[in-house]
Structure 1
Amino acid sequence: MTKLTYTPLEPKHFNALLALANQVHGDKYMDLGELQEHYQASQKNGINASWVALDGDKLVGFRLTLAAGQWQPDHGCSPELWPLSLDEICYFKCNTVDGDYRGHGIGPAMLTRSVDSARQQGARAGLAHIWMSSPGNSAYKYFSKCGGQLIKEHPGKWHHDCVEYGYVCPVCDDGCQCVAAEMLLRFDNA
């Protein structure tokens, strides 16, 4: 591993990002059209809240973060339980690190950069759906350690993606029944 660098997501990273996303999260996790929408939604006030980690020219991690006011809650969201309004909350869509690079602080480094960017865009918090079936429930432990607070659990959150888009969950055999933990990370010091 050479010295890692971090940079805001750009279109030149799209192919490598899609390959890593589908490798880690399962086939048809994300396609180019979806990624382009996420990329546009991560831009606000000339600031990009989505980041990638590079080892030389190799993309080894990414965090997609949608700017506050530029995403819509879905069936796995409970806005009535949020302490802030939608236009104050960014959405942490995805945090992914290549398996050979885990345990080197890449996830936290990208989260720090995304939080700083989202704060500059005007956000006061970030919402995420944490995959409770991650190995050893590491995603939940990690996000909790970073300050994320559980709002509500949503069983079968990604099942719709299996039925409608052909998503293939890397854990479930018959459609995705995984639980998503809806979590909020405040960064407005309140």
Structure 2
Amino acid sequence: MSEAHRHTTTIDYQPLSPTHFAAVIALGNQVHGDGYLSTELINTYYQQGLKNHHNAGVVALDDQGLAGFRLAFAPGQWQPDQWCSPALWGIPVEQVGYFKCNTVRPDLQGSGVGGALLKISIQAFIAQGALAGVAHLWVQSPGNAAVRYFSKHGGKLVKIHPDKWREDSLNGYECVRCGFDCHCDAAEMILRLR
């Protein structure tokens, strides 16, 4: 896509709905690696994003279809796992949402779509009663772009988790960097909303 076309394309942001699932799975697997999303996972993630009549999941659409998406879990709709450090958050777990992933079509990366998706999810989190959101950012992203992006929006580092996605890769997720034996690190980060 040319620079001129990129800036003239209108982006429509909508709450994630089941009509978007097939496109979200396809783009997620294209950008993050085969096996990243499945029908079962997207159904679960969708339900985890709903609370108080608000949906923390959002999609961006343009004239080519799905431009990007943000999957996010409402406070109280997800459970911290071994990769989470709630004792370091300073906020009760039940008041923390989870930013699962932010994915933008490659031709639109760097265009502001990702930041807009994040802002819409933040608004939903606030309406759902969250005081903060936690995410695990891919440290080995090109130029550490994921951590830089989240930091730019106010995210603060909590802890680095080596081999965060290794078990997933051994069970069928093909990391775009490591293949089926992922050794990428995750930066656990928190973004305070109020």
| TM-score above 0.5 | yes
Asked if residue 178 in structure 1 is aligned to residue 188 in structure 2, the reply is no
Is residue 110 of structure 1 aligned with residue 117 of structure 2?
A: yes
Partner of 2:81: 74
Once residues 75 and 32 of structure 1 are traced to their aligned partners in structure 2, the CA distance between those partners, rounded to angstroms, is 25
Partner-residue secondary structure (3-state), 1:30: coil
Q: Deviations over 1:43-101 (max 9, x none)?
A: 00111011000013600100001000110111211111111011110000000001001
Q: Match of 2:25?
A: 18
Residue equivalent to 1:40: 47
State the AA in 1 paired with 2:151.
Answer: S
Question: Secondary structure, in 3 states, of the residue corresponding to 2:188?
Answer: strand
- The residue identity in structure 2 corresponding to 1:100 is D
Unpaired stretches in structure 2, ≥5 consecutive residues: 1-5
Cα distance in 1 between the residues matched to 2:39 and 2:182: 22
- Distance in structure 2 (CA, Å) of the matches to 1:50 and 1:30: 14
Distance in 2, Cα, partners of 1:174 & 1:29: 12
2:166 counterpart (152, 159, 165): 159
| Superposed CA RMSD | 1.0
**Counterpart residue number, 2:100:** 93
3-state SS of the aligned residue for 1:36? helix
Aligned sequence identity (%) = 51
Verify: 1:168 aligned to 2:174, yes or no. yes
- Give, in whole Å, the separation in 2 of the partners of 1:93 and 1:174: 21
Tell me if structure 1 keeps the 8 A contact 2:173–2:180.
no
- Runs of 4+ in structure 1 off by over 4 angstroms are none
How far apart are the structure 1 equivalents of 2:102 and 2:61? 14
Contact 2:35 2:174 in 1 (8 A): yes
Deviation at 1:173, TM superposition (A): 4.0
Using the size of structure 1 for normalisation, the TM-score is 0.96
Q: Write the deviation string for residues 145-167 of structure 1: whole angstroms up to 9, x where unpaired.
A: 1000000000000001112x310
Q: Determine the structure 1 residue equivalent to 2:3.
A: none
Gaps of 5+ in 1: none
The alpha-carbon deviation at position 104 of structure 1 amounts to 1.1
Structure 1 counterpart of 2:87, which letter? E
TM value normalised by structure 2: 0.94
Aligned CA distance change for structure 1 residues 87 and 78 (closer, same or farther; 3 Å): same
SS at match of 1:141: helix
